[in-house]
Chain A
């Protein structure tokens, strides 16, 4: 594990980018590690074969400790010594078989008792709150996880009564949004019939439950497509001063955010260019982003730049609600709960599953007409069962 900064003493492995037995070239990113500042890639120092992975995803590794072993072939010169052991060096712990690079950094199936260094008090607090220690960033000496780290994740106030970081961030953001963005809402009730239908038809194709597309994936895809359909609305307003003046900047590509509930608050991971992905891809990416959000492991690039975010309060949520735009964005789509209502179709009363969609828009950027247009496109995509939604050309 190389030293990555003056202060960093240890890091946590996020994921391996190669598998044991894989041939690698010097300079190839081998593993992602997270320090207290950022997620960085550690490159292979030499050509060779990745013989052993010593630290797996979620495990912490001190600077200077063995991350893995590379078998250097005869006749090749060694590279930088940092992670290039001689054949005699023994990995500190030969871990289990490496997880696939697609697996999330955090799995809810891991046992609570973790190999990480954590104080007894921190362990007990995590146990009581049902928090996976691997999901908590450590701030103590030499990577030791302390009470305050668990408290930061849970939002439990520290002993001094101060706001935990996540609550504070939300408080600041929402206050700024309400103060600086004149926002209004438009709503429609969308029928979920087509969604249910496509889901049924596509069910056979999706074997892994975790990546079975949900209404959220549908909405992400639909939102991205809607933004593409209205390129003039795929923009953000940048204020100059406080009296409402500023400029509009059009976005390139689509960036759709998803409001994820975490302990103590929310985080908003962002997905780019969802309209170019298949439903399965979106579902898989959505799943990883949600996990990373819960674990507090989102990369900066995954947290910024959304134009529209989606907030779904789930099956037990309200029928409808008005969400507040995240600062820096232009829209937020509040998704009410799925419910069954009686509707009139072709002169008949039928029972349909519906959900209310409420779009909050930045009035500096768009008027009621524009917001309605965007919302209508969204609803048409959801109700229309556009076959584009089932584009499988990216399926692996």
Chain B
């Protein structure tokens, strides 16, 4: 009997669990009352009532602003922004309001809201529906950014995100939505702010997150058979970065690669590389390499999309460079 659950089901269970536990948790977004465009909210209306799972018009700016205001007044809203590309419309609320409130008010108020959004290329969604924009958010002090890499991770991390008293952008990769895994322990809570060493190794460190964890692990396993021992770190929380875990790893392996689907330029990898070059300079036995999307919009035709996106080949090439 296959009792595995999908990533999207894990999200749904996390929302359900938190809504059951805390009556101040509300879910809003476009189409969420009917289960959401991806099914993440299916059945929640029936269990928690129509006022707690509410459809909104296509008004990203207003609904994110509303979430800010509501969380100032004791609510814990979880808003779904259907594509991360549309986060652009909500940036005033996220960047100028949500991220600033705690600090700007001198600690009088905080913003315990969660923005769930779907990022990443999914094959033919083209330039305005395929982006991974998390690096923008890392740049804004006051925002928490989390990106789960699997159903179990998503469950534990979303529950923790909802319980945080600060604004969280929860980045889900579209391609992971169908991923199946055995269901997590219902009590699972994966706290924000700590990276996860998924696989230990001694010869090189690869830092990654979200969907790219899987090709990285596959490459690492192939290389293990060839005698290379690769340590793989899943960031889990992208902002703030858990640099301590990365520094510790580089202190052991002396080689670092960072892999993400997002554009290379100004990406999360660039920040990590710069920090390691400063904070762990003497540990390095090779240049730091990064793998990411090339600097072009993700075009429509499949061959164009795969030409810019990173994959096994690029991860291999990066590791080859590390071991020259």
Contacts and interface: CB of A to CB of B under 8 A. Distances in A.
B221 interface: no
Contacts of A123: 282
Interface string B198-220: 00001100000000000000000
B281 A120 contact: yes
A124 interface: yes
Residue picked from B284, B285, B324, most chain A C-beta under 10 Å: B285
A120 B282 contact: yes
Contact of A120 (B202, B284, B324): B284
Q: Main SS of the interface on chain A?
A: helix
A141 interface: yes
A122 interface: yes
Interface string B313-324: 000000000001
B73 interface: no
Nearest to B280: A120
A289 B225 CA distance: 43
Interface residues of A, number: 11
Contacts of A244: none
Contacts of B188: none
B280 to A, nearest CB: 9
Interface string B268-309: 000000000000011111100000000000000000000000
Contacts of A147: 254, 285
A119 B286 contact: yes
Interface string A115-141: 000011111100000000000000011
Contacts of B285: 119-122, 146-147
A301 interface: no
A388 B202 CA distance: 61
Contact of B203 (A120, A121, A141, A159): A159
A140 B324 contact: yes
- Most B C-beta atoms less than 10 A away, residue of A120, A141, A146: A120
A368 B227 CA distance: 52
Contacts of A146: 285-286
A146 B283 CA distance: 11
Contact of B284 (A121, A141, A159): A121
Contact of B283 (A120, A140, A141, A159): A120
A248 B173 CA distance: 78
Contacts of B281: 120
Nearest to B203: A159
Nearest to A145: B285
Contacts of A141: 324
B203 A119 contact: no
A159 B204 CA distance: 12
Nearest to A139: B324
A119 B282 CA distance: 8
Contact of A124 (B202, B203, B282, B286): B282
A272 B120 CA distance: 71
Contacts of B254: 119, 121, 147
Interface in A173-192: none
A99 B202 CA distance: 43
Nearest to A121: B285
Contacts of A140: 286, 324
B286 to A, nearest CB: 6
A227 B202 CA distance: 53
Nearest to A119: B285
A121 B287 CA distance: 11
Contacts of B283: 120-121
Nearest to B284: A120
Contacts of B324: 140-141
Given A120-B283, A146-B285, 17 more contacts: A119-B254, A119-B284, A119-B285, A119-B286, A120-B282, A120-B284, A121-B254, A121-B283, A121-B284, A121-B285, A124-B282, A140-B286, A141-B324, A147-B254, A147-B285, A159-B202, A159-B203
5 contacts: A119-B286, A120-B285, A121-B285, A140-B324, A146-B285
Closest 10 CB pairs of A and B: A121-B285, A141-B324, A124-B282, A120-B282, A147-B285, A119-B285, A121-B254, A120-B284, A120-B281, A146-B285
Interface of B: 202-203, 254, 281-286, 324
